[in-house]
Amino acid sequence: MDDLSTARTVQERRCPVGTSLHSKLRTPDFAANPFDLLGELRESGPVHRCEPPGAAPIWLITRHAEGAAALTDPRLVKDPTAVGLPAGWQPGTETSQLWSKDLASNDPPNHTRLRKLVARPFTKRRVEAMRPGIEKAARELRENMVRHETFDLVTEFAGGLTTATICDLLGIPAADRDTFQGWADTFFTVTVPGQADNDLFVSITKYFARLIARKRDDPQDDLLSALIKDTGDDKLDGHELISMASSLLLTGHEPAVRLIGNILFSLLRRPDLVRELREDPSLIPATIREIIRFDSPALTSLVRFAAEDIEMGDVVIRRGDAVLVSLLSANRDAAKFEQADEFLPARDTAGHLGFGLGIHFCIGAQLAQLEAEVAVRELLPLLPELSLAVPESELPYHPGLQMYGVQSLPVRLRRT
């Protein structure tokens, strides 16, 4: 995890353009429709300076070529201490030290070691083995929802499905599953990536410390127990276990909720597409990939830091500056995808950055796509009978710079 709120104070005079851009990125209008502003930025140049008040400058990359290059550039590192910045939300605290041990905050060689240890459950074969459990959860959620005239496809269905999936994977007891929903909501609604209430991380850290202690005494058939039982020379230490479990819980939930929500909202607005998918369900995976490109739930990448001065486009990113890649913008770059602002389910989406790129490519990408596929297959027969329960203009969108998508999708069931 990275924290720009504790980054060095900007010594130079603030750039009015950068300050203005940051203000625009914080508005509800941008949350609901980021495409217009990102399109303007992409047209004017590949890299843009943004200056959050009281924090270090952030460089926002909006084009695909430069974005892909940044995501694979070893000079852009995840560990802020490598460039002389503080390690965590409150430097020197035990919590900040713990949270600096997850995948998102590490660079090779330690990142390579950590990823190898947690990658085993995310192979294609093991992910596919989770399908029956995910299908069961989706079926139960649908059966519960249709008992009511109105229900919410994001908070009730997408949220419930991803909660069940990630908690089953990690071995989170059913009684605790409502608790972390608020954690995930808080974590992904910050305006400056990495900036969040330290109390949140204290709570999560203490929770996993207790859960890991219980699983040491009573291991189950889950990922967390497997990591605890690992006897290899490279096994995770106690701090790494807490950090990894916390990270997987948060990053395995909210992005998948946004993904499923964006897909269902997209289908609600395209009845002809729903008809095609019902007639030929083999088109579902390609349709999901195009929605990931077109309406990427990841607005930006996680933050990186320049380990040295880097020339990109017509700017120089100074050592210690923070860099974000707008994955949403890169996926709408006409230099990469013809008719990039058109939704074309049959298109070749190869090269989209919806799950990142390089060594930090989303480890749960296959699982997220499986959850999305199961969600679509389960609700496809129901979608023609659903309509929005509120005007589209009243739908709330996810705030902050990390996620894009509706936070709530209330629908009304037309009973025949």
User: Is 88 exposed, middle or buried, given 0-12, 13-18 or 19+ CB atoms closer than 10 A?
Assistant: buried
Model confidence over 358-410: pLDDT tens digits?
Answer: 999 999 999 999 999 999 999 999 999 999 999 999 999 998 888 999 999 99
- What pLDDT is recorded for position 81? 83
Mean pLDDT for 63-69 is 98
Mean pLDDT for 309-316 is 93
In terms of phi and psi (left: phi > 0; alpha: psi -120 to 50; beta: otherwise), the region of 351 is left
Residue 325's DSSP bridge partners are 61
pLDDT at 26 over 60: yes
More confident of the two residues 316 and 238: 316
Structural domains in the chain?
A: 4-413 (1.10.630.10)
Are 131 and 161 in contact by the 8 Å Cβ rule? The answer is no
Mean pLDDT for 310-335 is 95
* Residue found by looking up tokens 């990658």 in the block: 119
Q: Where are the alpha helices (DSSP H) in 79-130?
A: 94-98, 110-118, 124-129
pLDDT at 14 over 60: no
- What pLDDT is recorded for position 229? 85
Among 154, 334, 357, smallest CA distance to 262 is for 154
Q: Which of 50-59, 190-199, 243-252 has the lowest mean pLDDT?
A: 190-199
Residue 18 banded pLDDT, cuts 50, 70, 90: low
pLDDT at 120 over 90: no
